[in-house]
């Protein structure tokens, strides 16, 4: 129990400006005692099994001041969501052997001293990795970001960007279950096929083959868009604004097109917000974590009945994490990007 073991870590080398590269992160080998130290009351020591690559991680790799998140600490492991098994605990709610998901770090073992964002895994009849996606932060993001922000009504038209990603694929399925007409954009033919054939989108297009987003949207939405679930920001948002319908809603979930650029893109068509009485609203899933069990109660039966499906892109080994993360920004992943650190 008290033995010191080797602990491989992925640490940030230097703060990133412009495009992040794999070499901005390096593998480091440290050591750790597999026991919560005596002075760490309420802490949990976790063996990490699955790590989640999420676009927002890029923002923490920059040097930030007064942002909604803190910059990562240099030479310390990248922090992020993951699934793990409790190795030791001084917290009354977690005991050795428990499976947990929540905020951990990119290393083999993590001492979690703040358990505010740590949840016990109660249902193990689904793949554990789903707690990095469908049943974890991205799943709750899709659920609350769609139902709470977009107020969908049957028959409305819904557009989703980055639609095959961890969040988008679920938003599309929720929208279909709500009786909406759903179109998604993604960055390859394979992803477009996935949207249409696997996730049941009514239609989908490859934005990389569209020289004019406005023209593409007019083709797919001749009568306009009621709801836009925005994962990308930038040029696509600008084109969407031209195609929104009166009283449309935009759920501002993320803006991946803007995280990894030297210079932010300007959005020019905001006057449409006035003339079409559009509501554009941002949210962070953490504001809804108190409703997490409500989310699970709704989603688990849908998953078990086959009414919701989920696609993951699984990368093997902690060493692969930097490459997997960087791949998000060129759209290399197909579905939710997960890194397996260990399968048990």
Write the burial class of residue 286 (CB in 10 Å: 0-12 exposed, 13-18 middle, 19+ buried): middle
Of 242 and 314, CB closest to a second copy:
242
Q: How far is the CB of 317 from a second copy (least distance, A)?
A: 32
Q: Give the nearer residue to a second copy in terms of CB position, either 65 or 124.
A: 65
Residues 6+ apart with CB under 8 A from 228: 158, 159, 160, 161, 237, 240, 244, 248, 249, 250, 251
CA atoms of 214 and 200, how far apart (whole Å): 24
Residue 279 lies near a second copy (rule: CB under 8 A): yes
Residue 251 sits at φ, ψ, to 5 deg, of: -90, 110
Binding residues for a second copy restricted to 51-70, rule: CB under 8 A: 67-69
Q: Kindly tell me which of 135 and 255 has the beta carbon lying closer to a second copy.
A: 255
For 11, 13, 83, 108, 279, the CA distances from 29, given in Å and listed in that order, are 10, 14, 21, 10, 49
Q: Which of 271, 290, 306, 343 binds a second copy (CB under 8 A)?
A: 271
Task: Please identify which residue in 237, 324, 326, 328 interacts with a second copy, judged by CB under 8 A.
Answer: 237
Is residue 329 at the binding interface for a second copy, with CB under 8 A as the rule? no
Q: Is the distance from CB of 100 to CB of 87 less than 8 angstroms?
A: no
Instruction: By CB under 8 A, name the one of 37, 264, 301, 319 that touches a second copy.
Output: 264
Nearer to a second copy, 96 or 277 (CB): 277
The reply on whether position 17 binds a second copy by CB under 8 A is: no
Nearer to a second copy, 141 or 320 (CB): 141
Site for a second copy in 143-202 (CB under 8 A): none
Residue 252 is a binding residue for a second copy (CB under 8 A): yes
Closer by beta carbon to a second copy, 4 or else 287: 287
Of 26, 34, 40, 273, the one binding a second copy (CB under 8 A) is: 273
Element (H, E) at 82: strand 79-89
- Considering only the stretches 45-53, 180-188, 205-213, 271-279, report the one whose residues sit in contact with a second copy under the rule CB under 8 A: 271-279
* Strands 44-52 and 109-112, bridge-based pairing: antiparallel
Q: How far apart are CA 42 and CA 37, in angstroms?
A: 10
SS3 93: coil
80 versus 84: smaller Cβ distance to a second copy: 80
| CA distance linking residue 11 with residue 9, whole number of Å | 6
- Print the binding letters for residues 285-314 with a second copy: x by CB under 8 A, - otherwise: --x---------------------------
Query: HEC profile for 110-172?
Result: EEECCCCCEEECCCCCCCHHHHHCCCCHHHHHHHHHHHHHHCCCCCCEEEECCCCCCCHHHHH
Number of residues that bind a second copy (CB under 8 A): 32
If you compute the radius of gyration of the chain from its CA atoms, what whole number of angstroms results?
20
Cβ–Cβ < 8 Å for 24, 318: no
Largest pairwise CA distance in the chain: 66
| DSSP 8-state symbol, 77 | B
Examine residue 1 and tell whether it contacts a second copy (CB under 8 A): no
Residue 284 touches a second copy, criterion: CB under 8 A:
yes
Residue 117 CB, shortest distance to a second copy, in Å, is 17
Closer to a second copy by CB, 126 or 242: give it.
242
Q: Under the criterion CB under 8 A, does residue 265 sit at the interface with a second copy?
A: yes
**Chosen residue from 84, 184, 233, 322 binding a second copy by CB under 8 A:** 233
Contact stretch for a second copy (CB under 8 A) within 25-33, 129-137, 185-193, 281-289:
281-289
Which residues lie near a second copy (CB under 8 A)? 67-69, 233, 237, 252-255, 258, 264-284, 287
């Amino acid at each position: 129990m008290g033995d010191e073991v080797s602990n491989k870590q992925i640490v940030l080398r230097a703060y990133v400006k412009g495009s992040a590269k794999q070499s901005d992160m390096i593998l480091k080998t440290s050591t750790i005692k597999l026991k919560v130290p005596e002075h760490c009351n309420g802490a949990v020591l976790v063996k990490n099994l699955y790590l989640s690559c999420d676009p927002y991680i890029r923002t923490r790799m920059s040097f930030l001041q007064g942002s909604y998140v803190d910059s990562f600490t240099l030479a310390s492991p990248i922090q992020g969501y993951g699934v793990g098994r409790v190795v030791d605990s001084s917290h009354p709610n977690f005991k050795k052997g428990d499976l947990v998901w929540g905020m951990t770090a990119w290393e083999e073992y993590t001492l979690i001293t703040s358990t505010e964002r740590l949840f016990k895994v109660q249902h193990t009849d689904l793949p554990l990795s789903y707690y990095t996606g469908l049943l974890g932060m991205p799943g709750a993001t899709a659920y609350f970001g769609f139902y709470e922000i977009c107020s969908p009504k049957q028959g409305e038209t819904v557009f989703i960007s980055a639609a095959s990603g961890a969040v988008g694929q679920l938003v599309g399925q929720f929208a279909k279950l709500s009786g909406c007409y759903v179109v998604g954009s993604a960055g390859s033919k394979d992803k477009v096929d996935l949207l249409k054939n696997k996730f049941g989108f009514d239609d989908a297009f490859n934005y990389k083959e569209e020289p004019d987003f406005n023209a593409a949207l007019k083709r797919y939405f001749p009568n306009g868009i009621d709801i836009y679930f925005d994962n990308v920001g930038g040029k696509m948002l600008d084109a969407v604004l031209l195609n929104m319908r009166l009283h449309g809603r935009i759920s501002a979930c993320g803006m991946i097109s803007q995280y990894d650029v030297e210079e932010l893109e300007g959005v020019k068509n905001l006057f449409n917000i006035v003339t079409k009485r559009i509501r554009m609203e941002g949210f962070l899933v953490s504001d809804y974590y108190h409703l997490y069990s409500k989310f699970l109660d709704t989603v688990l039966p849908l998953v078990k009945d086959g009414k919701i499906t989920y696609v993951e892109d699984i990368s093997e080994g902690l060493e692969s994490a930097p490459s997997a993360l960087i791949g998000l920004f060129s759209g290399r992943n197909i579905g939710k990007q997960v890194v397996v650190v260990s399968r048990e």
